[in-house]
Amino acid sequence: MAPPDGPGRQDGGLTTGEVARRLGVAPTTVRSWDRRYGLGPRLRTGGTHRRWTAADLARLERMCELTTTGLPPSEAARLAREQASPDAGRAPEQSAAKGPGARTGVRPGGLRQEGRGLARAALRLDPGALDELLDTVIADHGLVTAWTEVIMPTLQAVGRKWGRTGEKYVEVEHFLSWHVVGALRRSAPPAPSVRPGATALLACVPGENHELPLEVLAAALAERGVPIRMFGAALPVEALVEAVHRTGPVAVGLWAQSRASASRPLARHVAAMEWGVRGARTRPVVLTLGPGWAGQTVPGLPHPSGLAEAVTAVRSVVGVTE
């Protein structure tokens, strides 16, 4: 079988469902483009069975790019069929007139095929296609790999590359993030039973509202049977201290996206908290999580560099192993 990012399979091309996932559209849309605009595959087996080659996929990718500029589908299909013309290699914004409110057809470079499909579905604000693609990539690769290699790079592409066009795509970022959270919660198993002395507490530091990476960590830990208590964004200092006192976690993960929100005094204070009977006091292991702690980590406190490392560190502290 060809690699996931390859243009097609050596055994005769991709199925319609596989093509749809790569493009970020519904299979019915792919079939409709075939029937209405002649963008079907050149290779068919068993009469009506479609097998899509690399050239077929390239035409459909062109169709997707052009339709996001605001072109009518019929005109986009005509241009997609003319890929061999001198204009075929031009960017969509150069070869197609942009209507009122049209988005520039930007292909997020450097993304895997699944990421490009996610980006297109998010750009179209298509909830059904986005949910299906997210569920598929998590099921196919596992949560950690799906986040690290597909979902996070797609979110970064939305915020970075697309932003350079002058269109900030804020609604696309919010839309994609919301659906990622939904996919995480759908994929996670029921929360493991809390065990005294073997629980992790996760929270964003006060003033930190970027909780999506912490949601990913919580889902990955739940997937691996680690009991957690998740407190989400911007937990006030007093509430964090009270939560630690009440739950007695063996590990506390403090997420900071920005350097402005990371607080060394807070991390030291939580790490120094004690509970239990005299002579057998217990302290939590505090993990400083996120890019906000870079360059200002606290001596003696673990600072995992990424999601996989954070999962490993928390599991080690909690005592959950394979």
pLDDT per residue as tens digits for the range 226-259: 999 999 899 999 999 999 999 899 999 999 998 8
Q: Supply the mean pLDDT for the chain.
A: 79
Mean pLDDT of 258-272: 92
Give the whole-number percent of the chain exceeding pLDDT 70: 77
Say yes or no to pLDDT of 210 above 50: yes
- Greatest C-alpha distance within the chain: 81
Pairwise pLDDT comparison (313 vs 30), residue with the higher score: 313
- Using 50, 70 and 90 to split pLDDT, how confident is the model at 7? very low
- Alpha-carbon distance 17 to 11, whole Å? 16
Q: Is 277 exposed, middle or buried (0-12, 13-18, 19+ CB in 10 A)?
A: exposed
Over the stretch 165-185, which tens digit does the pLDDT of each residue have?
555 677 888 899 999 999 999
Distance between start and end Cα atoms, the chain: 30
So what's the pLDDT on residue 22?
A: 80
Note the pLDDT tens digit of each residue in 89-137: 343 333 333 333 444 443 445 567 788 888 888 888 888 889 988 998 9
Task: Compute CA distances 45 → 14, 42, 87, whole Å.
Answer: 12, 10, 33
Residue 320 has phi, psi (to 5 degrees) of -100, 120
